[in-house]
Amino acid sequence: MPKYLEKETLEKLKKKLEGLKGEGRKDIAKRLEKAVSFGDLSENAAYQQAKEDKDMLEREIVELEKKIEEAIVVKKPTKTDAVYIGAKVDLESQKGKNTFKIVDPEESDPTNSRISYDSPLGRLLLNKKKGDSVEIETPAGKIRYKIIKIS
């Protein structure tokens, strides 16, 4: 399933992939070489750990390659009258005002007001316009948000 990513996020993923394929693999190879030099591999904890780390590294590389291959880069629309991926949205509720940035799942950080477009609130906000309201069920009860500003 394709993931919608901002250009900056895609570039970060590519850079991370490059590092894992380069320095990450070199580091694991050195660790494996050193562990092999210790002798008997059947009871060599350093060798076993290095093998496990190599497997994890290779899985991460495959996952990143897949994300990058399937990524759809989102562009900021020229007309920003509706909530889009990358938008900052000012909301007002009975509990006060909040500002959230709608981001891809890779960049999600709710504690810093960065919510994924795939989160319950993110899904509700996408394509809504200034003045629209959305209601979400939370553990603390229902919260109704009104969109005050989109930038």
Is there a single domain that holds both residue 40 and residue 97?
no
pLDDT digits (tens, 9 = 90+) for 103-144: 988 889 999 999 999 999 999 999 999 999 999 998 889 999
Q: What is the 3-state secondary structure (H, E, C) of 23-91?
A: HHHHHHHHHHHHHHCCCCHHHCHHHHHHHHHHHHHHHHHHHHHHHHHHCEEECCCCCCCECCCCCEEEE
Is there a single domain that holds both residue 68 and residue 99?
no
User: What mean pLDDT is reported for the chain?
Assistant: 91
Please state the domain count of the chain: 2
Q: What is the mean predicted confidence (pLDDT) over 52-63?
A: 96
Q: What is the mean predicted confidence (pLDDT) over 44-52?
A: 88
* Overall pTM surpassing 0.85 (yes/no): no
Q: Let me know if residue 79 belongs to a domain.
A: no
Q: What is the mean predicted confidence (pLDDT) over 30-47?
A: 84
- Provide the residue range defining the domain that includes 47: 4-74
Residue 143's CATH number: 3.10.50.30
